A and B are shown apart, each in its own frame.
Chain A
Amino acid sequence: MAGPSLMDSLFQRSLDDIIKGVRLCPPGTEPTFIAKSLDEIRREVKSTDRQTKAIALQKLTYLHSLHGVDMSWAAFQCVELSSSSAHSHKRIAYLAASLSFNPSTTDVILLLTHQLRKDLSSSSVHDVSLALSTLSSICNPDLSRDLTPELFTLLSSGKPFVRKKAIAAILRVFEQYPDAVRVCFKRVVENLETTDVGILSAVVGLFCELAVKEPRSYLPLAPEFYKILVDCRNNWILIKVLKIFAKLAPLEPRLGKRVVEPICEHMGRTGAKSLAFECMMTIVSSMSEYESAVKLAVGKVREFLLDDDPNLKYLGLQALTMVAQKHMWAVLENKELVVKALSDVDVNIKLEALRLVMSMVSEDNVMEICRILISHAQKSDPEFCNEILGYILFTCSRNFYEVICDFDWYVAFLGEMARIPHCQKGKEIETQLIDIGMRVKDARLELVDVARSLVIDPALLGNPFVHGVLAAAAWVSGEYVALSRNPFELVEALLQPRTSLLTPSVRSVYIQSAFKALIFCIWSYGKLNGDDASDPSALTELVAKCHLEGNSETVACESLSDTEVDNANMVIAGGQMSSASSRKYHLTKESLEGLVNLVGTNLGPLAGSDEVEIQERASNVLGFIELMKPELYGHLGHTEGNGMKGKLEASEVVKLMFDVFSEELGPVSLSAQEKVPLPDGLVLKENLSDLEAICSDVKFPLSTSFSLVHSQIMEKDTASSPECKEESGPSTESTSLLAEHRKRHGLYYLPSENKGTTFNDFPPAHEPKDKTIDEAEDLAKLTEESLIIKKKQNQVKPRPVVVKLDDGEGLNVAVEKSKVKTDLISGAVREVLLGNEATTSSSRSKSSNKSSKRREVDRIPESGNDIVNTAISERSNVGSGRRKHQTHLSSGKEKEQHDHKGKQKRDSRHHKHKSRQRADGAMNIPVQSPVIPDFLL
């Protein structure tokens, strides 16, 4: 026993040895060295010699705090060492404890309670101070509860040094154990009147932290804070007091009126930037209704903005952002500085400036601001460029494109953004392009134009960041192909060879869009050539039905139907229409054949693609072309009349496909799913665990039907006759298995009359309108009533309708949950302050009339706000009529506010009351009525 102890003491490596050792370690061997040292420490720390233990613990603390070594295992040794009588040991033990203990997981903390209590009541200030520091960092509810009495004593300790630390530490105790507030709060408040700067600083800091959480409870203390604000000359304290007022002023308008003047004085007088900044922030955040003060503050902000110090510039911008919410003029005054900050060297400053600029955006200036920003974005580094784009996209789309009036501009702008080389916001632009397409009918014409220019540009295909945008553009041009100037060109663009650079998912969108465009061409061709099969009036109806109802679309519709009625009409209309109609002229058989061939040659190879999505879509198109070819050639040999039946079928298919594609896609409400009523008999909560037992006895056929090779062969087989592809069901083997299974376990299948038509029971994704629409679907779909039309008068160009769903999308704005949970601390604080005020009023009421007392008593049970007001009104009586002699009387006022302690001389109090009564004589009655009194302080 003695041996190792002596050896350990004599040959123990000191802290310096360890530090040097770590520093001298060759790279890579540090962990080994630390592990070795840890082994030593583990041994040494168990030594009975306190000095050895202390050094071991100190070394461990070093490794823990700077090298992240776990030292939770040594928690007990910390507790052991803390009981040493030597201050140096105590210091090491408490440092180790405060750095390594976790209040919620270290269980030996409780063992420290006794030692902490002993040290808190020690005669050595240094021991007390150590204990307080440690307590503040390892405080948990148990510790707080057990040590509250000691802290309570320390709060009025005669040694300022101790009292200050106790006040600071008690914040943590309050947080952990709110009941401590009831015991200690009064003493804490008493410390507000101290003359010692350290104590005052601590107590103000404490209230500052408490007020951040729940300011209302501290309103009754406003007079004390006001005194500090006026009298104190210590900047640290002033900053904290200003923070408290920034929290209190919004709750009590009269308070703002009172403090705004001294704050402005401080701002004007001080040379310290930190204090000036705090004054500035207090005014702009909480006293923005005082014009003159705001003017002063904005002047100061400008000083900051003009300063060379980047810190001040940054803070100036931040302050300006805060002003901007209520005083736009302040930003406009400093506009050139803000724009200049956009090209600052510091990213943080640039971001702040950007935020500020975006906060200014409104309907009137959105175009101008976006123009400025985009030119900045083009000049900036990629990171900031995307920051700008992100902000623009976010701001413009906010609340259903609230700030956008001119959607044509915005859509073109989106296209422009996508073309910026650094743009990485493809995803967002993609979403918005499609969203606008669906929500804003009037913007579709321009949208299709923008989409065309994006799709047609081969250069864009090489940039992976814009692939999302291209997908959206392709979808838009396919979906609204009826508005396209030249569908031929579109199909060409969608099938250009460079599309092989696209990701499969985007490419499949391209193929699908080409398909849509192709069907549109063939369909229009059929119509233009006065298809005998359908009568013209029915056709017009069809067109009207199938087309979307928007303005621009009707233009297209009319142009189509006009073509049939009178060819001469077409040339009359404006550019868009004439181009649309001229297109019709070029719709010749040859061009159509060319188009079909182009599609065929381009998509042919894709039918063997590895990507299922591409392969399937390409096969769809190819199958359709196969189907169409007889018709096209049928037209060729139209006079012969052969294949009349086949042609008819084909045109019907075209019509069908066209119908399918021209069904409008609307935005879907987020709550749509919830609105679908549960079908009868569908049991969702049924336990499916016994399904496993059933499944286990089903032999899964090891068929190759899932392999890609097989399906490709199938594809080839069916390519010539796509109709049969649809009919080809699952393999007979599996069908019979399935049927058998159904027979045995009917419970887990949807009920159906005839199993052949099971699939028809599901409603198609887009049901044609003439069918009776399911009620639930009706709700989910967009109806005319659900459109919220935002009318804007006095505009050159009326804002187009932006479709919003009546309720669903509001849901994600999250139902604001009211904070029911009342803060325990503030509850206790209120209780204590209320007690205070109650005694105040009762002691006062001796000299004032009885009614006031009764009023006080009556009002006590009421809720916090009233209590606070009452308390204020009591005090406010004092302030009236004294405004002129403020400085002179402030000391007297202070005394009066605390006369309830009874420490003042009787006669002086009597005198004060006299003066109060004199001053308020006339106002007594109004003050007593529930009306809010005039003065707070």
Chain B
Amino acid sequence: MIHFVLLISRQGKVRLTKWYSPYSMKERSKVIRELSGIILNRGPKLCKFVEWRGYKVVYRRYAGLYICMCVDHDDNELEILEIIHHYVVILDHYFGSVCELDLIFNFHKAYYILDEILIAGELQESNKKTVERLIDAQDLLEEVAEEDASSVNHIIAQASKNK
């Protein structure tokens, strides 16, 4: 199973972290420090697997962004590489040629999409279309709600209600 997912920029900035196994805050920052040290220093033409604390970390680089997944020792590295790519393709499609800034300003969207792909550290949906459909449907729900909430009427109603 996947123990955690990390998105790290080339400068070592964290762009997304998702933990499927329990790690305390202290452990989390230690893990991130350790792994970004290892992975960011690896050259471009090397293999994308790193052995780390008895686990395997599979990573893939997209422009300035490294996507890393930590998996068990008997997991299939090539499959994980494909999952990473699967995620990136969906992100790309969702944002329309995704860039790092998209992920920074829409960090929650990145999480929502990841949650549709992985659950409990396992791949749950391998169909890109399905994932996109689900995310769009939820966004639609959200938009409707947001329109309601952000209207001046709503704010005034809220305020007068509290009086």
Residues of A within 8 A of B (CB): 1-2, 5-6, 9-10, 15-16, 19, 23, 48-51, 58, 61-62, 65-68, 70, 86-89, 91-92, 95, 98-99, 102-104, 126, 129, 132-133, 136-137, 161, 164-165, 168-169, 171-172, 197-198, 201-202, 205-206, 209, 212, 234, 236, 239, 243, 273-274, 277-278, 281, 310-311, 313-315, 345-349
Which residues between 70 and 110 of chain B lie within 8 Å of chain A, taking CB atoms? 72, 74, 76-79, 81-82, 104-105, 107-108
Contact of A243 (CB < 8 Å), options: B24, B74, B163: B74
- Residue B111 lies at the interface, judged by CB distance under 8 Å to chain A: yes
Interface flags for B102-143 (1: CB within 8 Å of A; 0: not) read 001101100110010001101111110010001001100110
How many residue pairs between the two chains, A and B, have CB atoms under 8 Å in the bound complex?
A: 172
Given contacts A274-B76, A278-B79, contact A311 B122 (CB under 8 A): no
A10 to chain B, nearest CB (A): 7
Q: Cβ of A136 and Cβ of B163 under 8 Å apart?
A: no
B103 to chain A, nearest CB (A): 10
Q: Cβ of A212 and Cβ of B142 under 8 Å apart?
A: no
| 20 residue pairs bridging A and B, Cβ less than 8 Å apart | A5-B159, A9-B159, A61-B108, A65-B111, A66-B15, A89-B145, A91-B138, A95-B111, A99-B111, A126-B141, A132-B119, A133-B115, A171-B122, A205-B123, A274-B78, A277-B76, A311-B47, A311-B48, A311-B49, A349-B46
Q: Cβ of B149 and Cβ of A86 under 8 Å apart?
A: yes
- Residue B40 lies at the interface, judged by CB distance under 8 Å to chain A: no
Q: Cβ of A345 and Cβ of B108 under 8 Å apart?
A: no
B148 to chain A, nearest CB (A): 8
B22 cross-chain contacts in A, Cβ below 8 A? 102-104
- Residue B53 lies at the interface, judged by CB distance under 8 Å to chain A: no
Q: Cβ of A136 and Cβ of B112 under 8 Å apart?
A: no
Given contacts A62-B107, A66-B15, contact A136 B119 (CB under 8 A): yes
B41 to chain A, nearest CB (A): 11
A161, B124: Cα distance in complex, Å: 10
A201, B125: Cα distance in complex, Å: 8
Q: Cβ of A239 and Cβ of B79 under 8 Å apart?
A: yes
Contact of A5 (CB < 8 Å), options: B16, B79, B150, B158: B158
Q: Cβ of A239 and Cβ of B107 under 8 Å apart?
A: no
B119 cross-chain contacts in A, Cβ below 8 A? 132-133, 136, 165, 168-169
B54 cross-chain contacts in A, Cβ below 8 A? none
B147 to chain A, nearest CB (A): 10
A49, B77: Cα distance in complex, Å: 47
**19 further interface pairs, Cβ-Cβ under 8 Å (given A2-B159, A5-B162, A95-B108):** A6-B155, A66-B14, A67-B14, A87-B138, A87-B141, A88-B142, A99-B111, A129-B134, A137-B19, A197-B127, A198-B125, A205-B124, A234-B126, A243-B74, A278-B76, A310-B48, A313-B47, A315-B77, A348-B51
A237 to chain B, nearest CB (A): 9
B10 to chain A, nearest CB (A): 16
B107 cross-chain contacts in A, Cβ below 8 A? 19, 62, 65-66
A703 to chain B, nearest CB (A): 50
A274, B125: Cα distance in complex, Å: 17
A485, B39: Cα distance in complex, Å: 54
B121 to chain A, nearest CB (A): 8
A9, B154: Cα distance in complex, Å: 11
Given contacts A168-B122, A201-B124, A310-B45, contact A137 B145 (CB under 8 A): no
Q: Cβ of B122 and Cβ of A91 under 8 Å apart?
A: no
A103, B155: Cα distance in complex, Å: 36
Q: Determine the residue in chain B with the shortest Cβ distance to A51.
A: B149
Q: Cβ of A311 and Cβ of B28 under 8 Å apart?
A: no
B28 cross-chain contacts in A, Cβ below 8 A? 68
Q: Cβ of B79 and Cβ of A212 under 8 Å apart?
A: no
B21 to chain A, nearest CB (A): 10
A239 cross-chain contacts in B, Cβ below 8 A? 76, 79
Given contacts A91-B142, A136-B119, contact A311 B127 (CB under 8 A): no
A67, B104: Cα distance in complex, Å: 12
Q: Cβ of A209 and Cβ of B1 under 8 Å apart?
A: yes
Contact of B105 (CB < 8 Å), options: A2, A16, A51, A209: A16
A212, B71: Cα distance in complex, Å: 14
Q: Cβ of B46 and Cβ of A348 under 8 Å apart?
A: yes
A344, B72: Cα distance in complex, Å: 26
Contact of A164 (CB < 8 Å), options: B15, B16, B125, B149: B125
A212, B121: Cα distance in complex, Å: 15
Q: Determine the residue in chain A with the shortest Cβ distance to B146.
A: A88
Q: Cβ of A310 and Cβ of B47 under 8 Å apart?
A: yes
Interface flags for B49-72 (1: CB within 8 Å of A; 0: not) read 111000000000000000000001
A875, B142: Cα distance in complex, Å: 52
B69 to chain A, nearest CB (A): 14
A53 to chain B, nearest CB (A): 11
A398, B111: Cα distance in complex, Å: 49
Q: Determine the residue in chain B with the shortest Cβ distance to A126.
A: B138
Q: Cβ of B16 and Cβ of A66 under 8 Å apart?
A: yes
A348 cross-chain contacts in B, Cβ below 8 A? 46-47, 49-51
Given contacts A345-B46, A348-B47, contact A6 B159 (CB under 8 A): yes
B18 cross-chain contacts in A, Cβ below 8 A? 99
A761, B127: Cα distance in complex, Å: 82
Q: Determine the residue in chain A with the shortest Cβ distance to B163.
A: A2
Q: Determine the residue in chain B with the shortest Cβ distance to A201.
A: B126
A310 cross-chain contacts in B, Cβ below 8 A? 45-48
Contact of A315 (CB < 8 Å), options: B43, B78, B105, B122: B78
B154 cross-chain contacts in A, Cβ below 8 A? 51
B126 cross-chain contacts in A, Cβ below 8 A? 197-198, 201, 234, 236
A48, B162: Cα distance in complex, Å: 9
A278, B134: Cα distance in complex, Å: 31
A198, B131: Cα distance in complex, Å: 11
A278 cross-chain contacts in B, Cβ below 8 A? 76, 79
Given contacts A198-B130, A348-B49, contact A65 B16 (CB under 8 A): yes
A202, B72: Cα distance in complex, Å: 18
Given contacts A61-B108, A132-B119, contact A9 B155 (CB under 8 A): yes
Given contacts A6-B155, A61-B108, A197-B126, contact A346 B46 (CB under 8 A): yes
Q: Cβ of A164 and Cβ of B78 under 8 Å apart?
A: no
A126, B149: Cα distance in complex, Å: 20
Q: Determine the residue in chain B with the shortest Cβ distance to A104.
A: B22
Q: Determine the residue in chain A with the shortest Cβ distance to B160.
A: A2
With most chain A CB atoms within 10 A of its CB, the pick from B46, B77, B120, B126 is: B120
Q: Determine the residue in chain A with the shortest Cβ distance to B126.
A: A236
A346, B22: Cα distance in complex, Å: 32
A23, B13: Cα distance in complex, Å: 11
A15, B137: Cα distance in complex, Å: 22
A67 cross-chain contacts in B, Cβ below 8 A? 14
B48 cross-chain contacts in A, Cβ below 8 A? 310-311
B51 to chain A, nearest CB (A): 7
